[in-house]
Structures are given as structure tokens and as C-alpha cells.
Structure 1
Amino acid sequence: MGIAQNDRRGVTVEVSLDAGGIDDERLDRQTRMLRAELAEMEGVETAALGRDSSGTAAGTKVADPITLGAIVLALSASGGVFTTLIETVRDWLGRQPGSHRVTVTIDGESIDVEAANDEQQRALVDAYIRRHGGVVAG
């Protein structure tokens, strides 16, 4: 899926959860929990589970098969919303049992965010935010 410009309001970002081989029902439940948390963030206009009500993958023009673990966010153009998104994902991951990874895709470029808070992960996330922070900054 990836990212698409969302008029002048902001951008659409794909967030994909990989919960380490759990069954589909648990993956769906955890994806919905993450979506609910992301939807509460300031600057998130919409948070859909991979498709909008028309059956088209949110943020795209072509229908996509349903992808378990996929969340599509429409972010406003307010400054700092992308940084907040990454930090919210990291916080959520830190509260989850097991081996989880979340992939955030913007402008066709993805970053994997894992529960580990080591220095290399932080540097990678910071570099990614610097590259893409201006995309959603006002």
C-alpha cells in the first residue's frame, strides 16, 4: 500500500503489525487495539483497518485485499504528528508481550519499529523522522 498525499490536509501512512506468528484472531484483536490508540492521537484524522467503507484500501484508488495487521492513518499537516506517531507505536510495543514489530510506511519508504529500545533503534527512528517529518509539518 504505502503512502498517498491526502489533499492539502496531510498524508496517509500505512502501519502494519507483525505479532510474531500469532493466530489471525489475536492479530486482528491486537491490530484493533493499536488502531484505537493511534486514533486518539492529536493530528490523526482517520484510522482505518486497511479499507474504508467503500471497500477500497484507505488512501488509495485501487481496491486491495484485506491485510491482517494493516492500519491506514490520515495524518493532519500539524507539525510533530509523525514524531508522535512513532513514539506512540514504540510505547504501545513496550506494553505488549511477545515479539511484536510495527512497520510504518511513508513515501514508499518503510521503517520497522520494535519493542527494543536500544541506541541503534533510536538512531534509526530519529533519522527516519528527520527525513519524513517535513512531509506532515505545517
Structure 2
Amino acid sequence: MEFLVALEPEPGTDPEDVERLGRQLRNELRALDVDDVAVLDGGPPPEGSKSGTAALLTEWLVTLSAGGGVLVTVIGTLKEWLSRRGAAHKVTVTIDGDTLELSNATDDERAALVETFVRRHQPA
């Protein structure tokens, strides 16, 4: 299974902080039971960004060969990573065109969204 993970830091985040945040999140993902976390180049700038503004979106293609429990672990790691940051960062997970956005939602809202998303993408 392959899926896209994208980090969109809070607007106005310094480019050095963006790079640091991206490295931290990628390292946490690589520490999991995943086959690969490949960096994708570029991507469109975040919606609403001004012309000439560098894209603040960091994206990775995550590859799994283990069972469906690893997807749950990856999403749990993303939730924990976001909860340790006080800023309004967003992380999205996209599988086959279906996107889950993790952001400043309450824990209950986020848990319900994650449960529905994971259920849709569990191996048969």
C-alpha cells in the first residue's frame, strides 16, 4: 500500500522551521514499521498563499507492506505529532484520492474522522 502524507505548516512559519518540522515528522514516520518514506519534490503552494511565496507544503510517499495495523499506527503517530505542536499545522493523508485532514479538530472529532478513514482503507 502506498499513500501520500503532506504537512502544511501554520501560515507564516519561517522556512527554516518548515524544514525542521518536515525532518522531524519524516523521522518519526521512518521509525515506524514502514517500507519507505520518500520525499516528493515541490507541490502546489497552499491555497490562499501569495504569488511568489515559497510552497510550505512538505510531502512524502509512504509505502507499507505490513498488515492494516500499520496504517493505524501511522495515523496515530501523525495525531500525536500534531498534538505536541501548539501551532495550527495541518497534516493530510491521501489514499486513492480519499483525503483525511488532521488539524486543530478536537480529539473526539479527530478520532471519529480517523476511525472512518482507516475503516475505508483496511485490507480485506
TM range (shorter): 0.7 to 0.9
SS at the partner of 1:20?
Answer: coil
- In the other structure, the counterpart of 2:84 is 95
In the comparison of the two structures, how many residue pairs are matched? 110
Q: Does the CA contact (< 8 Å) of 1:47 and 1:73 recur in 2? A: yes
Aligned ranges for residues 80-119 of structure 1 at < 5 Å? 80-119=69-108
Q: TM-score, normalised by structure 2?
A: 0.80
- In the other structure, the counterpart of 1:74 is 63
Q: Does the CA contact (< 8 Å) of 2:6 and 2:58 recur in 1? A: yes
In 1, distance between residues paired with 2:30 and 2:38? 9
Q: Please, which runs of 5 or more residues in structure 2 have no aligned partner?
A: 44-56
Q: TM-score, normalised by structure 1?
A: 0.72
In 1, distance between residues paired with 2:111 and 2:67? 23
In 1, distance between residues paired with 2:29 and 2:118? 17
Identity %: 38
- Once the two structures are superposed, residues 54-83 of structure 1 have per-residue CA deviations (whole angstroms, 9 ceiling, x without a partner) of xxxxxxxxxxx5234111111113230111
Mapped pair 1:27 → 2:13: no
Q: Please, which runs of 5 or more residues in structure 1 have no aligned partner?
A: 1-10, 51-64
Mapped pair 1:15 → 2:5: yes
CA drift of 1:117 comes to 3.7
In 2, distance between residues paired with 1:36 and 1:49? 12
Mapped pair 1:37 → 2:57: no
Q: Does the CA contact (< 8 Å) of 2:100 and 2:117 recur in 1? A: yes
SS at the partner of 2:113?
Answer: helix
- In the other structure, the counterpart of 1:123 is 112
